[in-house]
Amino acid sequence: MRASDPLLLHFTAHGTADPPIVVSAEGLEVIDTEGNRHLDGLSSLFCAQLGYGHKEEMAQVAREQIETLPFHTNWNTAHTGAMELAERVTALAPSNINHAYFTSGGSESVETAYKLAVQYHVANGQPERRTVIARDLAYHGVTLGALAMTGVARFKDPFGPPALSVRHVSHTNLFRSGETEEELNARLLAELEATILEEGPETVAMVIAEPLQNAGGAFTPPEGYWAGLRDICDRHGVLLVADEVITGFGRLGEWFGVQRYGAAPDMITTAKGLTAAYAPMGAVLVSDKVAEPLYREGVTLLHGITFGGHPLAAALALRSLEIFEREGVLENVRAREPELRESLEALRELPIVGDVRGAGFFWALELTPDGGEGRFDAATVHELVKRYVPQRLREARLIARPDDRGDAVLHFSPPLVSDRATLDEMVSRIGDVLADAGKHVGARRAAAVASR
């Protein structure tokens, strides 16, 4: 990119990047300026749950909303669209959750959950409960409060001391743990409880965790983990927040990931898939327990976001949820998951694939030397994740995400309406790209040995 380009891109190395420029989208594909069609194996960063095939219907919804009520805020006033969406979305959530607070995106949802947690503790005479416990490597957003919860050091370090008091505990990486699932679960829960005790339970406001952690590569929770989190939080008066910015709205084959893992959190943070990406919107879904103090005489909810619950976004979210039901989107994810698992597992045959993990339509493949548990050196990770694999994916016309926030992984999260043939095609393209990546790494290794 050139210094004269006016558009600054998010998380992009402007000096070297040559990103694809997209002009339109159709079905399960996005189309670039040269007319190339790329299958979207990442749902536009985990957002486009329905792909891009509902344009006319959504355009009609948008048009009707703009002609009726282009905008109204939710600051000390309400509009029917946000009210209807709050009722609809909470009806899909676990039964202890009956309130919704709308935001404009995921970071805002995460910070809103923190402020609601603090207001809850203040109202209950425990104003010293301020500390958050999050997990290593987990990504919870980048505005300063959310960034404090994010566990990726290189995103945080340049910005100095975190804005909030946050302790990070281990994530649920079974592949690297060298333990059985049972041992991992016991160790993680013991570590969490020890951390709460070390901090002083009377100072801990909340624990935040994704049902299935994205950063690091689709870390699934061990059996019993979410029940364990609930139990520990309850015993120490700590609130439990499920960050479902990615897992919410069908990605794991349930409306919310916590439903797959049998958990009842105190709050659920959402964004991305809530409108199936037809408009920017987030929501914090709030339990009766956390909301109760807000209805007490004289208590004001000290938080407001001008566009939170925008009527246009609310109308599009409502229609998206209707489409989910009409087209059996959750059923599609559940029906396709076993086949998808099988075809991704088959890629373990490639010498560069060390692990395949995930659930629903939310997967990662870990790249390792010779398919074992070793690790590539930093230069090879850089070559793979920043250069070779992105380039080959573009040539293969597939959007997926190479990532090195933890070990080297390739994220794959297709739209939830993908049919079997398209999933097979996407997985076959991943296979081609990773087969070439394995050869490329092997050739580099051989060249390095020869030059010694």
Ligand X SMILES: Cc1ncc(COP(=O)(O)O)c(C=O)c1O
Positions in the binding site for ligand X (CB under 6 A): 105-107, 110, 139-141, 210, 214, 243, 245-246, 271
Helices (H) and strands (E) in the chain, counts: 16, 15
Q: How far is the CB of 269 from ligand X (least distance, A)?
A: 7
Q: Which is nearer to ligand X, 105 or 253 (CB)?
A: 105
Q: Which is nearer to ligand X, 244 or 407 (CB)?
A: 244
Q: CB nearest ligand X: which residue?
A: 106
Q: What angle do CA 340, 265, 217 make, to 5 degrees?
A: 35
Query: Which residue type occupies 61?
Result: V
Q: What would the two tokens of residue 33 be?
A: 């300026």
Q: Is 331 helix (H, G, I), strand (E, B) or coil?
A: helix
Q: Which is nearer to ligand X, 213 or 343 (CB)?
A: 213
Written in H, E and C, the secondary structure of 247-304 is: CCCCCCCCCCHHHHCCCCCCEEEECHHHHCCCCCCEEEEEEHHHHHHHHCCCCCCCCC
Q: How far is the CB of 103 from ligand X (least distance, A)?
A: 9
Q: Which is nearer to ligand X, 139 or 324 (CB)?
A: 139
Terminal Cα distance for the chain, rounded: 36
Q: How far is the CB of 364 from ligand X (least distance, A)?
A: 13
CB 233 within 8 A of CB 267: no
Query: Cα separation of 242 and 268, whole Å?
Result: 5
Q: Which is nearer to ligand X, 271 or 359 (CB)?
A: 271
Q: How far is the CB of 434 from ligand X (least distance, A)?
A: 24
CB 360 within 8 A of CB 337: yes
Query: Cα separation of 134 and 3, whole Å?
Result: 37
Q: How far is the CB of 195 from ligand X (least distance, A)?
A: 21
Q: How far is the CB of 104 from ligand X (least distance, A)?
A: 8
Residue 211 burial by Cβ neighbours in a 10 Å radius (0-12, 13-18, 19+): buried
Q: Which is nearer to ligand X, 413 or 422 (CB)?
A: 413
Q: How far is the CB of 402 from ligand X (least distance, A)?
A: 16
Q: Which is nearer to ligand X, 106 or 369 (CB)?
A: 106
